[in-house]
Amino acid sequence: MQTRLSSKLVKAAIIFSFGISATIATTTSAFAQTTPDAVYQGLGGKEGINKIVADFLPIVLADDRIKDTFKETDMERLGLMLAEQFCALTGGPCKYSGKDMQEAHKGMNINNAQFNALAEDLQIAMEKNNIPSSVSNKLVAKLAPMQRPIVTK
């Protein structure tokens, strides 16, 4: 009887240790994918970000909800600043050299609808570049705190 009990305990211990090993392996794998630049890499690095921005700006300029906001904007410079900003925000090697968001949008009277339209256009550009929604949502989440200094109306 005691041999059967010991045998059952050994089997249970083996199953338990395999379960723990599998959990550790899965957890380690999940942590390995969550590196400081995971979103940057998910966007395709600098090249991917540049493609997204290149697709994003024409979408913005064609969007009746917000295109007038950009009438007097140097779109080439805006593209460079957005690429830098996206790169820096997502853990890439870039340093954002533009103005802070409050200063950059001073006097533009941006409202929530315009802010949201821009975010929607960015999502469209990322979809066009086959960025997984898990990655695009992380970029949008990093940009969301900018709403306070940008939206003034």
Q: What is the overall mean pLDDT for the chain? A: 85
User: What average pLDDT score do residues 2-18 get?
Assistant: 45
Chain segment 86-108, per-residue pLDDT in tens? 999 999 999 999 999 999 999 99
* pLDDT value, residue 153: 85
* pLDDT value, residue 21: 42
Higher pLDDT, 137 or 9: 137
Reference 37, options 82, 98, 86; nearest CA is: 86
Name the CATH code of domain 38-150 (choices 3.30.390.10, 1.10.10.10, 2.60.120.260, 1.10.490.10).
1.10.490.10
Instruction: Report the share of the chain in percent with pLDDT over 70.
Output: 78
* pLDDT value, residue 22: 43
* pLDDT value, residue 34: 72
H or E stretch covering 74 = none
Chain segment 28-85, per-residue pLDDT in tens? 444 445 789 999 999 999 999 999 999 999 999 999 999 999 999 999 999 999 999 9
What is the SS3 string spanning 25-72?
HHHHHHHHCCCCCHHHHHCCHHHHHHHHHHHHHHHHHHCCCCHHHHCC
pLDDT at 14 over 80: no
Reference 66, options 101, 107, 31, 114; nearest CA is: 114
